[in-house]
Amino acid sequence: MYNLHTHSLLSDGVLIPSEIAVRYMAMGYKAIAITDHADYSNIDLVIKGVMDFCAHWPKDSKIKVLSGIELTHIPIDQFKPLADYARNLGIQIIIGHGQTPVEPVVEGTNRAALESDIDILAHPGFITDADVKLAKEKGIFLEITSRKGHSSTNAFVAEQGLKFGAKLILNHDSHGPLDIISPEDLRKVGKGAGLDKKAIDKIFAEVEELLKKKGAL
């Protein structure tokens, strides 16, 4: 099992990366990504922090930790340069903070993120058909989340993903200990979004392929 959307003290989380990793490991997870919020004001700090942490995390640990970042509430013309900047510095998982209906996200953010070098579009809200098709074309994962508020459109995102054949991913978007749910409960999030066992198994298989490409498995 995996979770590729977590936040630490490097942004608005409450745990240091080591405790995040240990808590996920205790839950039975095999791989996580530390994906703290970033814009031009803090991207260097976040990248250095997560890269240093991942470089020193024991290679023989039962849980693999990938370096990540979530580009959050940035002007739409900044997505491509910031995504390229993070990727060139070695960040493995890049998330675009999508157009969740519970925050004032700028219109066009989903499209700008999808046109950039990202791996996951987080909580994309009422994502358009055209944007889902672009996600499919580029192999970008659309997130179904366990996070309160953002999860209000899970069923819509799942339906759109299945309709157009785009890749889906189940994530926590965790910020603290209470957000870290068991693998079984994460499956329930998928079921709550209307996904059957076959669809959920497919999600896990596709994410496993992503993790292999990133060197985490």
| Mean of per-residue pLDDT scores for the chain | 97
- Give the pair of three-digit tokens for residue 129: 């058909």
DSSP 72: -
Confidence class for position 113, pLDDT limits 50, 70, 90: very high
Q: Mention every residue, 6+ apart, whose C-beta is less than 8 A from residue 150.
A: 100, 102, 122, 123, 173
| Residue 38: predicted pLDDT | 98
pLDDT at 217 > cutoff 90: no
Residue 215 confidence (pLDDT) above 90:
no
Residues 6+ apart with CB under 8 A from 139: 167
- Give me the residue spans of the domains in the chain: 2-213
Task: Give the pLDDT band of residue 154 (cuts 50, 70, 90).
Answer: very high
State the architecture of 2-213 in CATH terms: Alpha-Beta Barrel (3.20)
Residue 156 has pLDDT above 90, yes or no: yes
Could you identify the residue written with the tokens 């998982």?
93
What is the pLDDT averaged over residues 155-182?
A: 97
Of the chain, the percentage scoring pLDDT greater than 70 comes to 100
- pLDDT tens-digit profile of 184-202? 999 999 999 999 999 999 9
Examine the pLDDT at 214 and tell me if it is beyond 80. Answer: yes
| Cβ contact 20:34 at 8 Å | yes
User: Are 36 and 7 a contacting pair, CB within 8 Å?
Assistant: yes
Q: Is 77 exposed, middle or buried (0-12, 13-18, 19+ CB in 10 A)?
A: exposed
- C-alpha–C-alpha distance, residues 115 and 72, integer Å: 15
Provide the pLDDT confidence category of residue 216 given band limits of 50, 70 and 90: confident
Q: What is the pLDDT of residue 174?
A: 97
DSSP string covering 129-159: HHHHHHHHHHTPEEEEE-STTGGGGHHHHHH
Question: H-helix or E-strand containing 71?
Answer: strand 64-71
CA–CA separation, 4 and 61 (whole Å)? 17
- Model confidence over 14-70: pLDDT tens digits? 999 999 999 999 999 999 999 999 999 999 999 999 999 999 999 999 999 999 999
Confidence of residue 99 (pLDDT cuts 50, 70, 90): very high
Q: Residue holding tokens 């370096």?
A: 67
Distance CA 217, CA 66 (A): 11
pTM, two decimals, is 0.97
